[in-house]
Chain A
Amino acid sequence: MEGEEEENVGPFRRTSARTRRMATRMASALASSDNRAQAALARLEALENDNAGPEVVDPNDDDEYGSDDEEDHVLMQKKQSKNMKRKTRQGKALEKKAARSFMDVLHEANLESLPPHVPTYSRAAVGPPSTSSRRYYCSVCGNAANYTCVRCGTRFCSCRCQVIHNDTRCLKFVA
């Protein structure tokens, strides 16, 4: 959990605070060695993430658009009335919609119920490869990796990289 704040955008983090160490999401994913498949899925999920991570619904967010150094009364009122207008027009449904993910929409669309000849998002998926020979790359240096860490399942290529892995990366950030 401690890693979570580092990971997301800490409001006052400066460039100089950047650290030379592994990303915390990776660390926590790898640390759950009891369920590596889940960690692998989490990692693939993360490939579609943005900096801010999952959207946090903040009711005051709207006020943050535009300049914040001219917050005189009139402007505030104008903003408020604009927001009010927007809210009544769209209703709460749109607010909820905005916070959904594509996967939620897909689930609601219930594509499986369509007759089999109708092309859909799900039916357009390319499917698994015909040859499933996966190549593994060393997590430390990127070379072809022939060894697996018995503790966390991470791949490495040589004794040298194993040492680096064990010393600085393997299960390092378990709380």
Chain B
Amino acid sequence: MTGGSGVVVLDNGGGLLKAGFGGDMNPTAVVPNCMAKPPGSKKWLVADQLQAQDVDVTGMALKRPIDRGYLINTEVQREVWERVLRNLLQVDPTNSSLLLVEPQFNPPALQHATDELVFEELGFKSFCVADAPSLVHLYEASHQPSLFRAQCSLVVDCGFSFTHASPVLQNFTLNYAVRRMDLGGKALTNYLKELVSYRSLNVMDETLLIDDAKEKLCFVSLDVPGDLRLARLSSKDNPFRCSYILPDGITYKKGFVKDLDEARRYCSLPANGESANNDSAESDRSKFEDKKKPELSQNEFVLTNERFLVPEMLFHPIDLGMNQAGLAECIVRAIQACHPYLQPVLFESIIVTGGSTLFPRFTERLEKELRPLVPDDYQVKIIAQEDPILGAWRGGSLLAHRPDFESMCITKSEYEEMGSMRCRRRFFH
């Protein structure tokens, strides 16, 4: 069952926690990193308990250990980790080492709280932290000969809490050049919640359900004005129109897409979105349809342009009123903060990872936005990870399996002797 290393590898994401054993290809557990309580109940469900087939997540109150990407609530985190370690991985921490993926620029106070949790609360034997970009690079470089030769890459991690563009050189993240957008999957889900609640159905308490709707229905537009025109067509001709059914607590315990074929219609549109029916912009006004059709059930909502306007915010946060550069500019700024010799290499070694890069057409759109911002004589090459949710974990699994891994760790006795601050110096941040 274990990869033989006895090292627990934990990518403690704000949305999903990925946990397993060093040396394995895939994590043993990929579970929500939160606790939730159904309305009227006193019992909190933890991590994988939320994924059970008979659990209806409607209206659940949520507690997350992570705020804005950082481990803030160690009490909640301990509940989740205990559940994962004891029930899912079935390990005894006192006999195990832990490799934890830690957010970049973690303030010392939070590092300290993390160390306390790892050594004092859970009693791990030894402990090592690594940042996500270097692990993603490590994993990809072991698979892509060109990256391996170049020894560097620009890792774009678009996760749940935020988005980082991080240059990595010889497995070290160049912290001085890292650039961050305060926008990730969580904000996108909340934005979709807001749009649906404003336009049709109050779903402000349904974070987990809207998250599911977002994952299944949202995509990145390659031509926003053109797609907006198409989205105004009446239901039969509108390639984006589809609906999502919320659980009713009786027949359906889970939310689902009403008609998957209907939801996929947009995929067969001409790729570059140059819609032939430009004249429709005028004529469709009469066909414009109010979404509050009476035959909609109480537990159903329709999406049209929301499907691409939500991920659109990654590319133009300013549209949301966030005074932040979009993803393409974020990448350019990170690369331009590096030595000029590195820049052309980084532009052709962009790795995109993180759950929010799973929106269909994400990579194509990024390339389209990036090209005009990059000098003509530079290549732009974007590498989409095979499984962007597991990228950092798999890199961690490789690192934990290296023969010199234990020498990178701090042991419990070193921690007890020297305390958190001095031990941490070994981790080179």
Contacts and interface: CB of A to CB of B under 8 A. Distances in A.
A108 to B, nearest CB: 7
Interface stretch (B102-110, B142-150, B394-402): B102-110
B21 interface: no
Interface in B55-99: 58-64, 67-70, 72-76, 79
A119 B178 contact: yes
B40 interface: yes
Interface in B299-320: 299, 304-306, 309, 316-320
A23 interface: yes
In the complex, which of the residues A12, A103, A119, A120 has the most CB atoms of chain B within 10 Å of its own CB atom? A119
A88 interface: no
Interface string B316-342: 111111111110011001000000000
Interface string A1-33: 000001111111111101111111110000000
A130 B42 CA distance: 50
A106 interface: yes
A67 B43 contact: yes
A100 to B, nearest CB: 6
A74 interface: no
B383 interface: no
B63 A126 contact: no
Interface string B339-370: 00000000000000000000000000000000
A37 to B, nearest CB: 9
A112 B142 CA distance: 39
Interface in B236-252: 246-249
B412 interface: no
A15 B72 contact: no
Q: Bin chain B's interface residue count.
A: 35 or more
Interface residue tally on A, bucketed by range: 35 or more
Given A40-B321, A102-B72, A124-B178, A22 B198 contact: yes
Contact of B197 (A26, A126, A133, A134): A26
SS class, residues of chain A in contact with chain B: loop
B221 to A, nearest CB: 12
Contact of B248 (A15, A43, A48, A67): A15
Interface-central residue, A26, A67, A126, A136, by most chain B CB under 10 Å: A126
A101 B43 contact: no
A22 B292 CA distance: 13
A102 B178 CA distance: 19
B43 to A, nearest CB: 6
Contacts of A100: 72
B62 A50 contact: yes
B207 to A, nearest CB: 5
Nearest to B292: A20
A97 B74 contact: yes
A126 B202 contact: no
Given A52-B61, A68-B42, A136-B319, A109 B73 contact: no
A26 B191 CA distance: 11
B194 A26 contact: yes
B380 interface: no
Interface in B371-404: none
Interface of A: 6-16, 18-26, 40, 43-44, 46-52, 55, 64-68, 89, 94-95, 97-103, 105-106, 108-109, 111, 117, 119-121, 124-130, 132-137, 139-144, 158, 160, 169
Sorted from nearest, which 9 A-B pairs have the closest CB atoms? A23-B197, A142-B305, A119-B175, A52-B61, A121-B105, A47-B187, A109-B107, A102-B68, A129-B325
Interface of B: 34, 36-37, 39-40, 42-44, 58-64, 67-70, 72-76, 79, 104-105, 107-110, 113, 116, 120, 164-165, 175-176, 178-182, 186-187, 190-191, 193-195, 197-207, 224-225, 228, 231-232, 246-249, 285, 288, 291-292, 298-299, 304-306, 309, 316-326, 329-330, 333
